[in-house]
Structure 1
Amino acid sequence: MHDIASKARLRADLLARRAAMPPEDRAAAGRSIRDALLTVPEVEMAGTLAAYVSIGTEPDTRGLLFALWKRGTYVLLPRLLPDGDLDWASYEGPDSLVPGPRGCLEPSEPPRGPDAVASADVVLTPAVAVDRTGMRLGRGGGSFDRALARVGPAILTVAPLYETELLPTLPSEPHDQRVRAVVTPSEGFVRLG
């Protein structure tokens, strides 16, 4: 129980820090993260990349999604299922996004099933924080933990973060999934583990 309570407190603190960031700082961070990710060899060579549409104060992914799509990468985005799991569908540009549950934007293309994420060469995953071993703190719903559990060990999984969100250690539970890298505005792409 200790880990659940400490995760909730830490999540609330980190989300409050995000909310306090000036919008122009968040926008600049999103551009830096986009530029760093576009030069990562695995991302440059990826035929299929699974990602997500950022919402609220998350590091912006919209510019990255558009850039990947324009250069011909096949981008899969999640569709939230009623049980909290994620289905996946293709991103066909900004006009292909429609409102989904919990304030998320989702692809309007036909769903490809929850296992479609396993076909991705790179998986971009949201996180509130990540520690130096790759342990990821999400929003608490477990949707991306389920998706990451379907991804093979050789696949690059990466979380975009703001500067203060790469931490020495994080509390964790057995179902929590690690990521293999993070990208921050100042450090750029960082492999973990």
Structure 2
Amino acid sequence: MNVPGDGGKYAWRTEIRTRRLAVPREEREREAEALAEGVAALNAHKWVCAYMPVGAEPGSIAMLDALRAVGARVLLPITAAAGPLLWAEYTDRDSLQRARFGLLEPTGATLPAAAIGWAELVLVPAMAVDRRGVRLGRGAGYYDRTLTAAREDARLVAVVRDEELVERLPEEPHDQRMGWAMTPFGGLRRLGGTEAEESSSAG
């Protein structure tokens, strides 16, 4: 992916947002279906922190249902006015309501930010991620503030489109690195190591 301008985060976000909006609906649906199949193939986890896609973000409600179908309990973020994300459990599609920033959030009891520490698997929305594990988010910093409370052994997975796994992104000191990337057709890939250490399986 070629990024115009100075190659800073703003340029990356602008380019990726433009590319995502140009993806045909049929292709988005194929990608969402593939991601649902991909997360279902991951090793079973008791608790998973996931997300409800907004706009052109990769994924769908089917991804959440696939996690529940293999026995996981799924937490979705609740966006507070400031600070780290809060959480609530996703039980089914009827439990979602429209909230801040156009997000769909569970209507159940709100859990503290520290609830991310329950999760063995954390699926993190991203605009892009590089092979070192540097993640590009939307810029508000919610996940960078939240991931500091994740378990040390949690699998942190950035979910992106295939072309959004890139060689190198700009990084700032507060950025929280990912250990894995999940793409629709590339599967699960290990980040932060050599090419030989990457895996396209849930392993």
On whether the aligned pair clears a TM of 0.5, the verdict is: yes
Overall identity of the aligned pairs, in %: 38
The equivalent of 1:178 in structure 2 is 177
- Structure 2, unmatched stretches of 5+, are 1-5, 193-203
Say how many residue pairs are matched: 187
The equivalent of 1:23 in structure 2 is 25
CA displacement, residues 117-176 of structure 1 (integer Å, 9 cap, x when unaligned):
111110000000000011000000111111111112311011221121001010011111
Task: Compute the displacement of 1:73 (Å).
Answer: 1.2
Name the SS for the 1:125 alignment partner. strand
Which stretch shifts more, 10-19 or 83-92? 83-92
* Whole-Å separation in 2 of the counterparts to 1:73 and 1:187: 23
Q: Residues 40 and 140 (structure 1 numbering): CA distance in 2 closer, same or farther, change over 3 Å?
A: same
Q: Once superposed, what is the RMSD of the aligned Cα atoms?
A: 1.4
* Whole-Å separation in 2 of the counterparts to 1:7 and 1:180: 20
Matched to 1:184, the amino acid is T
Kept after mapping to 2: 8 A contact 1:135/1:172 = yes
Which stretch shifts more, 53-62 or 130-139? 53-62
Matched to 1:86, the amino acid is L
Question: Are 2:134 and 1:135 aligned?
Answer: yes
Kept after mapping to 1: 8 A contact 2:39/2:67 = no
* Whole-Å separation in 2 of the counterparts to 1:170 and 1:132: 9
Could you say which structure has the greater relative contact order, defined with CA pairs below 8 angstroms and 6 or more residues apart?
Answer: 1
The equivalent of 2:3 in structure 1 is none
* Whole-Å separation in 2 of the counterparts to 1:145 and 1:96: 27
The equivalent of 1:7 in structure 2 is 9
Kept after mapping to 2: 8 A contact 1:98/1:105 = yes
Task: Compute the displacement of 1:186 (Å).
Answer: 2.1
Task: Compute the displacement of 1:84 (Å).
Answer: 4.8
Question: Are 2:53 and 1:54 aligned?
Answer: yes
Task: Compute the displacement of 1:62 (Å).
Answer: 1.1
> With structure 1 as the length reference, what TM-score do the two structures score?
0.93
* Whole-Å separation in 2 of the counterparts to 1:70 and 1:39: 11
* Whole-Å separation in 1 of the counterparts to 2:60 and 2:160: 11
